[in-house]
Amino acid sequence: MNGPQAEMPRYKCHKEVHALQILGISPSEPDGSVDLYFEEKQFAPIRVSKEWIAKHLPEDGVLTRGYYVVYDDGYVSWSPEKAFQDGYTKL
């Protein structure tokens, strides 16, 4: 693309989500799944599939620096630590 471009529109988040800060991950199971462990000790580990890991693993391979996020519609995602902390406030 050549030539000047306008700045893209900006958006401010107003969603409420459920989220847990990831502390670490277990070694892979034979099926490629892993367990996520959380800073919030009262929550049990959550097992995620190898497909989830492949989709959400950041390029640098450091999944532990972020949040496991569940949206109101049930969609489960990962958010980088800084982006999440800059965009959300705990209720």
pLDDT tens-place string over residues 38-73: 999 999 999 999 899 888 875 555 566 799 999 999
Report how far residue 48's alpha carbon sits from residue 56's, in angstroms, rounded to the nearest whole number: 11
Q: Burial level of 70, CB count in 10 A (0-12/13-18/19+)? A: middle
Q: How far is CA 72 from each of CA 17, 33, 75, rounded to the nearest angstrom?
A: 7, 24, 7
**Tokens linked to 52:** 């989830």
Residue 78 amino acid letter? W
How many of the other CB atoms lie within 10 Å of CB of 56? 16
Residue 31 has a pLDDT of 94
- 2-45 pLDDT, tens digit per residue, is 666 888 888 888 889 999 999 988 888 899 899 999 999 999 99
